[in-house]
Amino acid sequence: MAYLLDTSVYSQPLRRKPIEPSLVRWRDAGDRECRVSVVSVAEVEWGLHLENRESRWQRYSRILESRIQVIEPEHEVWHQFVRMKARQQQLGQIVSDLDLLISAAAKLHHIVVATLNAGDFSRIEGIAWEDWSR
């Protein structure tokens, strides 16, 4: 089974106190079965820019950068995103655009979102997701 790691899971190897079950699930799934959205890569890099510490950038480069396949939001992902965003608004279940963009990529590519943010992803209609916090 293929997984799309959302930012909460993808960033765990960089955390001072990572959530161990998420690291175990990632290890068990294997890097070949995991993907990451360019959205999550950007969110992690944004955090590194805010920290502005060379040692953190080196750790990122060594541990995460180029580790797993990155899914770019191609034209069809954007079409899926706008359909999903409209539907979520109709349902009154507003979630962040970044979570919706990650979800659109997962839905389009028929892969499961792996997250520690079950509260938001559980509200997104029509996607498969798993809580990797336990």
Per-residue pLDDT of the chain in tens (134 residues, 90 and over written 9): 899 999 999 999 999 999 999 999 999 999 999 999 999 999 999 999 999 999 999 999 999 998 999 998 789 999 999 999 999 999 999 999 999 999 999 999 999 999 999 999 999 999 999 999 99
Number of neighbouring beta carbons within 10 Å of residue 48: 17
Supply the pTM of this predicted model: 0.92
Query: Which CATH code fits 3-131?
Result: 3.40.50.1010
Side chain identity at residue 6, one-letter code: D
Token duo for residue 64: 């995460």
Where does the chain have alpha helices with state H?
7-10, 20-29, 38-51, 54-63, 75-91, 97-109, 118-121
Asked if residue 70 lies in contact with residue 37, where contact means CB atoms within 8 angstroms, the answer is yes
